[in-house]
Structure 1
Amino acid sequence: MTLDITGELVGQLAALLAASFWAIATLLYHRAGSHFTPLQMNLVKGVVATPLLLIVSVFLGSSLILSSGLWLLALSGVIGITVGDSCHFAALRRLGPWHAMLLEYLAPPLAAFMAWVFLNDTLSIIEVTGAVITLSGVLWVVSEKAPNKQPALSVSGILFGGAAALCQATGLVMAFSVLMQSNINAIDAAFVRLASGSILLAIIVGFSKRSAYSAIIKQCRSINPFPLLGAIVFGTFLAIWLQQVSIANINPGLTQTLLSTAPLFLIPISLVKKQKITLRSIIGALVSLGGIGILFL
């Protein structure tokens, strides 16, 4: 009897692989973060990843048509990518990969709450319980007292991380409403969101400083570009593609839960690099992951 790889298994593996790619990309972004401001980092990411998504869209057969849904997708990109990802990079710079990624656990319950408010989705007692557990796990970790001679977590970093989660949740709910009401496929939606967010970023960066683009190009030439390129390819391009593969094969709730394992992939990586993650942080991450599982499954 031969064993076939089912669509469900493909979807589950794709989501876990995407989660591992996000963990790796977060470390690489953190490594490159000292050379760029959050806005510059976000812009470089968009300039590299947007053409890659366009190539995939054309290769798979673009479903883009001019409609009112495109404007809502563009707005979701501005909120989730222009603002949200910039806040995430600011949090990453202040908190480090572990705590910055852990604060992203706030996005799923926030998205569920906004879908309940704006899209008339229902929330059961079990789902509310899952959201509360997720929030409790995150708050338990960020409220941990720093060990002796260790700096406390940056308050501004926590605020940036919370703002990133709120913006990402808002953008995702808006994008989801468009996907439910149109025939736009997920890859095309990702392209529109990323392109819109990147165009606004280019305008903001261009007006923020004289010769801003020349400074970014000069900075890119002065550093080893491979960590940053690796982060963009793994975290923004391949992870998004794998996310869509997962959604196409399993239910979105299971996809979201498996994607939320990303911080856990940082644990073995941190051990190899001899970076300490406290037991409280690990327990808090597992509690939050359990809450997300209850929320979506």
Structure 2
Amino acid sequence: MTGVLAALGAAMAWTGASALWRSLSGRVTAIRLNAMKNGLASLLFLPVLLTLPHNTEVHAVLLLLISGLIGIAAGDSFYLGALRRLGTRRTLTVEASGPVLASIAGVLVMGDSLAVKNGLGALLVSSAVVLIAIHAKETSQGERGGSAADFGIGLLLALTAVICGLSGAFLARQVLISSNLTPLQTASIRLLGGWLGLLPFLKGIWRQTKLKQREQWKLVIATVVGTNGGILLQQVVLQTMPVGEGVTLMATAPVMALFVGRMEGDPIQLSGVAAAGLALAGVACTSL
């Protein structure tokens, strides 16, 4: 039950933080915003890094750094690139393959067991995310069309983002189940790896990016809730649950975003209600 609650909590954290990121997207480019939030998140977790046990295995730390580099730095960058070319609707449709791929990979790579109800849960949650993506209101210029080349590149970037995210999750889970490191410690090391990967984009960023005080507070809150809190909860999930089940539950974030969209003037439609029902059924199949 701890893993289930952590997964749903991570989804809620990412959903709430995403609303704040959207409000800042017009002021800062996506890659710079990603670099800023990961730099700030690493700074907030610095005390944890300084108190790591002296007998911590170097091999485990290296794996976590690579996990952060692949899943946080590279994965998020590929995802942002896909958003620019495909738009929100198409990118989310591709991202919906994550839970199913994670379940299959968990069986083939990690040796996780996959009961029929867990497989059904993954399919239901994935169906919910796809339904939301198909009927999502297109609000960005990138969603109004583009060249075939842009679409092909965007599709490749989205698929690469899924693979990077899952690869990072598998590496982190391997460390969590084979070492004495806590979820907080692994989250800190992963964020450090992601920050190191984004370090080239941080040069002069605070001087060049002039955010108002209110926007700076939004950045801090979104980072604490979405990045620090979200990744910490994610590590708890990876430690206590098979990757497939954990990713499935965390994939409910787009479903939760329905309610955020309503507050932003995007009312819940019948398709949204149906998607929420599918997601809840998937959660029930996976966790009960």
Contact 2:118 2:285 in 1 (8 A): yes
The answer as to 2:65 corresponding to 1:74 is: yes
Choose the corresponding residue for 2:209, options 217, 220, 223: 220
267-276 vs 26-35, greater mean Cα deviation? 267-276
1:174 aligns with 2:171: yes
Q: What's the counterpart of residue 75 of structure 2?
A: 84
Deviations 1:181-207 (A, max 9, x none): 11111111111111112112214x3xx
Tell me if 1:44 matches 2:36. Answer: yes
- 1-side partners of 2:3 and 2:10: how far apart? 11
Correspondence for 2:264: 273
Which is further off, 85-94 or 173-182?
85-94
Q: Name the % identity.
A: 29
Distance 2:3 2:17 in 1: 21
Q: 3-state DSSP class of the match of 2:17?
A: helix
TM-score, structure 2 length as denominator? Answer: 0.75
| Paired amino acid for 2:170 | V
Partner SS, residue 183 of structure 1: coil
RMSD of the TM alignment (CA)?
3.7
For residues 13 and 118 of structure 1, what CA distance do their matches in structure 2 show?
25
Is contact 2:125-2:252 (8 Å) kept? no
1:20 aligns with 2:9: no
- The 8 Å contact of residues 30 and 80 in structure 2, kept in 1 or not, is answered as yes
Q: Is the 8 A contact 2:73 2:194 kept in 1?
A: yes
Pair 108,57 (structure 1): closer, same or farther in 2 beyond 3 Å: farther
Note the residue ranges of structure 2 that are not aligned, 5 or more in a row.
Answer: none
- Provide the C-alpha distance between the structure 2 equivalents of 1:159 and 1:281, rounded to a whole number of angstroms: 27
8 Å CA contact 1:111–1:172 kept in 2: the answer is: no
> Is this contact kept in 2: 1:78–1:193, CA < 8 A?
yes
Mapped partners of 1:145, 1:255: distance in 2: 25
CA contact (8 A) 1:12 1:258 kept: yes
The code of the aligned residue for 1:27 comes to A
Which amino acid in 2 is paired with 1:172?
Answer: A
The amino acid of 1:30's aligned partner reads R
Whether the 8 Å CA contact 1:28–1:228 is kept in 2: the answer is: yes
Give the conservation status (yes or no) of the 8 Å contact 1:45–1:232: yes
More displaced 10-residue stretch of structure 1: 103-112 or 72-81: 103-112
State how far apart, in whole Å, the 2-side matches of 1:64 and 1:26 are: 37
Q: Distance in 1 between matches of 2:128 and 2:257?
A: 17
Q: How far has the Cα of 1:159 moved from its partner? A: 5.8
Secondary structure, counterpart of 1:34 in structure 2 = coil
Say if 2:125 and 2:248, in contact at 8 Å, map to a contact too.
Answer: no
SS at match of 2:220: helix
Deviation at 1:26, TM superposition (A): 0.5
Q: Structure 1: 5+ residue runs without aligned partners?
A: 1-7, 206-211
Secondary structure of 2:127's counterpart equals helix
Shift of residue 35, structure 1, vs aligned partner:
2.8
The reply on whether 1:229 has 2:226 as its aligned counterpart is no
Of the candidates 107, 112, 118, which is equivalent to residue 98 of structure 2? 107
- The answer to whether the Cα contact below 8 Å between 2:48 and 2:188 also exists between their aligned partners in 1 is no
8 A Cα contact 2:96 2:130, kept in partner: no
Please tell me whether residue 131 in structure 1 is matched to residue 136 in structure 2: no
- Closer, same or farther in 2 for the Cα pair 1:247/1:115, shift >3 Å? closer
Matched-pair contact (CA < 8 Å) for 2:186–2:235: no
Shift of 1:286: 3.8
